[in-house]
Amino acid sequence: MKLKKKFLILVIATFTLIGGTQVYASTVLGTNITGLISSGIISIRNYFTGTTVKNEMNKLNNQYSTSVDDYAKQKANQAVTDLQNHTTNEVNRANKELDTYMNDMKSQVNTEYNNEIKKSKEAITSTVNQNISNIKTNLCKELEKQIQEQMQQKVKELEVK
């Protein structure tokens, strides 16, 4: 609390001193020192706010424009590189996936092919075996018939003699 009072007194004393100095300078010294100081500072301020600030702001503008250009180029190059890498990775992944798919498909086709060929071979073998059996039966019957006919003919020849 004492510190706040001391600070308040110090602030009041400072403002009184500043105000009193301006009055003293203009009345006692007989010059308008405050006006001279004010116009001098204004001219210096105008120099800084006009030329210096403008030049410095132009430098900053150029600096940051260059920085923005560099950053944009960097990001564009990075985007191209990232997308090229991603494309390459995706194409490689697609190649592996399709290679696996093709191998699986070939394996399934080979399995199905072998099963169907086996069934077809068995059917052909069965048909041939059936035909062999039929031919054997027919040959046996034909042989019997021929033997019988030949025997009968020989018997007839013997009878005729």
Residue spans per domain, the chain = 25-160
Alpha carbons within 13 A on the beta-carbon side of 41: 6
- pTM for this predicted structure: 0.48
Residue 4 amino acid letter: K
pLDDT in tens, 110-129: 999 999 999 999 999 999 99
Q: Side-chain half-sphere of 10: how many Cα atoms within 13 Å? A: 6
Q: Measured between alpha carbons, how far is 41 from 47 in angstroms, rounded to an integer?
A: 10
Q: How far apart are CA 132 and CA 126, in angstroms?
A: 10
With contact defined as beta carbons under 8 Å apart, do 26 and 33 qualify? yes
pLDDT in single tens digits along all 161 residues of the chain:
666 666 667 667 666 666 655 555 555 555 567 777 788 788 777 777 777 788 888 999 999 999 999 999 999 999 999 999 999 999 999 999 999 999 999 999 999 999 999 999 999 999 999 999 999 999 999 999 999 999 999 888 888 76
Amino acid identity of residue 62, one-letter, is N
Tokens encoding 128: 């041939």
Q: Are 31 and 25 in contact (CB under 8 A)?
A: yes
- The pair of three-digit structure tokens given for residue 131, joined into one six-digit string: 């035909």
